[in-house]
Amino acid sequence: MELFLIRHPPPAVPEGTCYGRSDIGLAAPPAASAARLRGLLPDGIPVYTSPLMRCRSLAEALSPAPVTDARLVEMDFGEWELQRWDDIERAAFDAWAADILDSAPPGGESAAAMLARALDFFDELRRGGAPAAAVVSHAGLLRVLFAHWLEVPPRRWPRLVFEFGAVSKVILDAESDMNSAVLRVEYLNRK
């Protein structure tokens, strides 16, 4: 299965803000991003999207009938949502960063929980038998998926960068489970 994984375009939020699961829109209309991305996607490809407006608006510009799935939503940062990263208590942030996979921000979700729901979505999608799909989602979700599939340890996660409005393509093995599903990464961050 060919997967075209797309990060939403820049959101309408001040730089340096933790916005995770907050439902904010895009900084600019999605038409230009959608026109550019359409040239990178197969014609008629089914499009799946996070329910958050910054993803959904791009998906709606890409497809007349995108499928929304809550499992594609960004990580819930709980009490840190819409706070400036610099304003988050340093000790709490450091404790979370020291165990980024299994710990969660206060009132939020762990990366492991986000990964579990994302793997459930992709496993269901793969079992559906479609030859290809486009998925509009978030950097955090893409980061944990690629880290899992490529066996990247958490300390190296910052090296996995997914640019706004870019598409990354992977090929999934239709026969394997989601723990070893990636046959290859075709490209990252194509615009």
86 vs 183 pLDDT, higher one: 86
| Domains identified in the chain and CATH numbers | 2-190 (3.40.50.1240)
Q: In the predicted model, is pLDDT for residue 126 greater than 90? A: no
Residue 83 corresponds to which amino acid?
A: Q
149 and 122 in contact (C-beta within 8 Å)?
A: no
Cross-strand bridge partners of residue 83: 18
Interval 60-79: pLDDT, tens: 999 999 999 999 999 999 99
DSSP-derived letter for residue 4 is: E
Percentage above 70 pLDDT, the chain? 95
CA–CA dist 54, 46 (Å, integer): 18
CA–CA dist 15, 164 (Å, integer): 13
pLDDT (0 to 100) of residue 39 = 95
Interval 141-183: pLDDT, tens: 999 999 998 889 998 998 999 999 999 999 987 666 565 566 7
Interval 51-60: pLDDT, tens: 999 999 999 9
